[in-house]
Amino acid sequence: MGRLLYAVHAYAWTSRWTEESLPLLSRARELGFDAIEIPLMDIESVHPQSIRKEAERLGLRIVTSTVLSEETDVSSPDAAVRRKGLEYLKRCVDVSAEMGALSFSGVIYSALGKRIATIPGREYLERAAEALKKVAQWAQDAQLLVGIEPVNRYETFLINTCDQALELLRMIDEPNMRIHLDSYHMNIEENDFYTPTKKAIPYLCHYHLSESHRGIPGTGTVDWEGIFRALAEGDYQGVVGMESFAEVSDSMRAGTCVWRKMAPSSDVLLREGLAFLKALEKRHFAPSGGKK
The residue type of 179 is: I
Count of CB atoms situated within 10 Å of the CB of 37: 27
**Which residue out of 54, 149, 155, 190 is catalytically annotated?**
149
Q: What is the pLDDT of residues 144-187, one digit of tens each?
A: 999 999 999 999 999 999 999 999 999 999 999 999 999 999 99
Q: In which band, very low, low, confident or very high, does the pLDDT at 260 lie, cut at 50, 70 and 90? A: low
Task: Give the alpha-carbon dihedral of 284, 204, 227, 223, to 10 degrees.
Answer: 160
Q: What is the pLDDT of residues 45-65, one digit of tens each?
A: 999 999 999 999 999 999 999
d(CA 86, CA 14): 27
Contact, 109 vs 152, CB < 8 A?
Answer: no
Active site residue 167: no
Active site residue 174: no
d(CA 178, CA 205): 6
pTM of the model: 0.93
The residue type of 254 is: A
Q: What is the pLDDT of residues 83-123, one digit of tens each?
A: 999 999 999 999 999 999 999 999 999 999 999 988 889 99
Describe the chain by its helix, strand, coil percentages, rounded to 5: 45, 15, 40
- The strand pairing partners of 106, in sequence order, are 66, 148
**Which residue out of 155, 190, 211, 243 is catalytically annotated?**
243
CATH 3.40.50.1360 fits domain 5-284 = no
